[in-house]
Amino acid sequence: MKIEVTHVIKADPQVVKLFSAFLGALGTPSQNIKAADAVEMVKTTAASTDKEETTTSTKATKRTYLFHEESGTVLEVNKGEELAKHLEQGLVEITKAEYDRIQAEKQARIKKAKEQADDKATNETLEQTGKDESDDHGITFEMVRAEAKKLASSGRQADLKAILTSFDAPKLTAVPEDKFLELLAAIKEAVGEE
């Protein structure tokens, strides 16, 4: 008996492989294969095909969090994205809570390093200029702004504008730091504070 199939199948590649295996099993020369034996051969082919696909394609079925122990790197992989390349690079799956904890620790380290760099830059500037914090009498811009806000909120924006003009400043931020003490005194006087 000779079976010849000349039909184009547009289907899932796995179905095409299985069908081809079935036809190959039926048409094996030098053996008289029964349909039941051909079905068994197809099952074996299907099992090996499933194993191949499992090892070659590992897509994330949900949002997945990965961690690389040596570098401390964390990675977030969205559903449907390929995982195999990351797993081959030594990343391991972690929970969302672990991912969040690692990210928080990383942000804290970055913040601390930035603060230390800012402190170092401030100290270097003070050393270069010869100024220390007592030169500005402890008056900060925030203190001046708070008093200016009191004056402006009481409906006396014109008085605040006049005070700023006397310091040759179009706005509060244009007043130099060394004039903060005088500016604060002028604003407090206008507010009615001593």
pTM over 0.85: no
The confidence band for 89, taking pLDDT boundaries of 50, 70 and 90, is confident
Mean pLDDT of 130-140: 61
Under the banding of pLDDT at 50, 70 and 90, the label for residue 105 is very high
pLDDT of 147 strictly over 50: yes
CA distance 145 to 147: 5
Q: Which of 13-22, 54-63, 169-178: highest mean pLDDT?
A: 169-178
Total Cβ atoms within 10 A of residue 12: 9
Reported as a pLDDT band with limits 50, 70 and 90, residue 104 is very high
Give the span between the Cα atoms of 53 and 56, in whole angstroms: 5
Confidence (pLDDT) at 4: 62
DSSP result, 64-114 = EEEEETTTTEEEEE-TTSB-HHHHHTT-EEE-HHHHHHHHHHHHHHHHHHH
Per-residue confidence at 101, pLDDT binned at 50, 70, 90? very high
Mean pLDDT across the stretch 165-169? 90
Nearest in space to 64 (alpha carbons), one of 37, 42, 35, 86: 86
Q: Does residue 97 or residue 42 have the better pLDDT?
A: 97
pLDDT band at 102 (very low <50, low <70, confident <90, very high): very high
Q: Pick the more confident residue, 155 or 125.
A: 155
